[in-house]
Amino acid sequence: MIRRILHSLLLIGCALPLGVSAGLVAPEPSTPVTTEYDSGYVAGFSDGKIAGHADCRFDPASCAINLTNVLPPAEYGETEPNDTGISADVMALETNVWGQSYSTSDQDWYYVVTNEPNYNLTLNFALPSLNSNNCQTRIDPDSGELSLQCNCIIETRTNLVSGTEYNYSRCSLAGWTVSIRNAAGLTLTEFNTNFTSVEHATSGISYRTTLGMAGMYYIVVKPVLSEFNFQPYVLAAKLEPSPNNTPNFPGGTYNAEIEPNNSPAEATFITRGISAFGLINLRFDATLCTTESCQYLQNEDDWFVYNSPGNEIVQLGFCDLANCTAGDWFVQIYDVNGIYAIQWQGIDPDLVTPLMAFNTNTSTTTDTTATVAPQVWQIGLGAPGPYYMRVGHKRKLDAACVQWSIDQDNNGLPESNQYNCACADGSTSCDLDVLNPGASYTDTVQQMIWPVCPNGEGGGEDSFCPSACVCINEADGCSLYQTDIDGDGLPGPSAAPCRCNPTGVASCDISIQNPGTPTVIAIPDQTVYPLCPDGSGGSASPQCTVGCRCTNYAGFVEIPENFVTSQYNFTWNTTPFGSRQ
């Protein structure tokens, strides 16, 4: 960091103007003192030099010493494009940075960051290539006329004490305005580089201001249309703590939602650049239910509207210019197409795709007196017209299913959104047994009648027989089994391989196909059903298996513990694409 003592080192040997008595010739300060006058002169010269150095230390600018004088030449410059806050260059402190305006619409954006409030910012603006012969032809942007203008002019002046003449350089830094802006891009202060002339263009002129809040600040160099200057400039910045330690608060006007603003038709108009406050009111007029429980819809919508000229960037900040209490919010941005679907077609806003949707994450504590960190989002608006913002409580990302629809052919896709089924455990899908949707009819049915099983059980319409599965290698730990269909403890008759689970047991009970030959009989006047939509069932079975699939999920809100609602505030700021502010 550059210290003030650096200025004093640079001033050693600087001559300060002194008044002398007419007719007396003062000795050089280093010559022997021979008279009382000589002694007084030497003492006065020494005291004056010390006082002059002290003055320069206190106010270097009064001695024509600016920030640029004590910094090395610029080693790097701006990186184009840097015409907006989004593409701004970081401003290295205590370093000369080279820049140039390539057209009347070419703005140069830089930024600095302060970690604490009340920091003094010194900006130095200089034109390193100017001299007394630096003249250029300028074109009047209105008339198109050409004129010759010299930035530095040599004037002849007369010393009022000695009467001698000397040359004095007077340089103009005309061509730009330099502004300091807050993180939202709002101008805090601005100066025209032509508000005064300077003796040395390479030293330039310094401008000082105090940055009251901690955070990011933009430095914007913008050409003046009537004084366009394409010469390179040098910009330098220095930050120093201010002795002022009083707290600062965001300035400007505040706004608030106007209730009711619960629909797009009632939306509160957005004013750019000022903080607007809102509160999600409690409500008990509707419920949202799953198969397990219901909850009140504690999510009154707040709607806001902004009329955009089009082709601009919105910088939307939550809790950025004013403190927020603990809480998170769900924010959606809609264009006119989305609002048409909501307002005129009656579609739920949650089922309309917005231009942008996000949950804020500004909760840091459940302490009601605590403040939270700001968050900023950016979105580009292409077409002119109204844009609507919907604000509600933060939405849970693991919301439960609240409505299901039948999937008749069980292919995973519901046939309609009729919400005509439900999964008892609240899962997103399940299988249900329903009546066959096809029309039944009366017919003669061919029925197979099976003989009695070898063990004397079963038979009739049942095509399976009970059987035992017995171990045939007990000495080896029972890993091989065969069927014992007659139940005598021995494999057979017509033994077939089988398996017990778990293995290692002596026997287990299983079912096998009836080994007998069925008899087919005709049964008249029987009710017959067609195949189910998925190709199964039919015949004498009146049931079909269908799918039940989730088609609507709950928009349950997420509120911090021990809270029911919270106050929020936001700032809506815009910058045209290519930034022509």
Residue 394 has pLDDT above 90, yes or no: no
- Give dist(CA 187, CA 239) in Å, integer: 19
> Is the domain of 90 the same as that of 54?
no
pTM score over 0.85: no
Average pLDDT over residues 341-345: 92
Structure tokens at 105: 């619409």
- 450 pLDDT band (50/70/90 cuts)? very high
Q: Does some domain include residue 538?
A: no
Residue 138 has pLDDT above 90, yes or no: no
Average pLDDT over residues 14-21: 35
Q: Does some domain include residue 135?
A: yes
Q: Find where tokens 């079912």 sit.
A: 511
Q: What is the CA radius of gyration of the chain?
A: 44
The amino acid sitting at 129 is S
> Is the domain of 426 the same as that of 351?
no
Q: Which of 206-220, 225-239, 263-277, 362-376 has the lowest mean pLDDT?
A: 362-376
Residue 23 has pLDDT above 70, yes or no: no
Q: What is the pLDDT of residue 188?
A: 83
Q: Looking at per-residue confidence, does 513 or 170 come out higher?
A: 513
Q: Which of 49-63, 133-147, 314-328 has the lowest mean pLDDT?
A: 133-147
pLDDT tens digits for range 417-444: 676 788 887 788 899 888 888 888 888 8
For the chain, the domain total comes to: 5
Q: Does some domain include residue 250?
A: no
- Give dist(CA 421, CA 546) in Å, integer: 10
Q: Does some domain include residue 534?
A: no
Average pLDDT, the chain: 77
> Is the domain of 325 the same as that of 447?
no
> Is the domain of 163 the same as that of 212?
yes
Q: Does some domain include residue 120?
A: yes
H or E segment and range at residue 339: helix 336-343
- 389 pLDDT band (50/70/90 cuts)? very high
Q: What is the pLDDT of residue 205?
A: 85
Q: Looking at per-residue confidence, does 416 or 445 come out higher?
A: 445
> Is the domain of 396 the same as that of 472?
no
Average pLDDT over residues 5-24: 35
Q: What is the pLDDT of residue 150?
A: 58
> Is the domain of 285 the same as that of 324?
yes
Q: Does some domain include residue 536?
A: no
The amino acid sitting at 253 is T
pLDDT tens digits for range 529-559: 888 888 888 888 888 888 898 888 776 777 7
> Is the domain of 223 the same as that of 79?
yes
> Is the domain of 376 the same as that of 354?
yes
- Give dist(CA 581, CA 579) in Å, integer: 6
- Give dist(CA 277, CA 279) in Å, integer: 7
Average pLDDT over residues 35-60: 62
Provide the domain limits for residue 455.
441-528
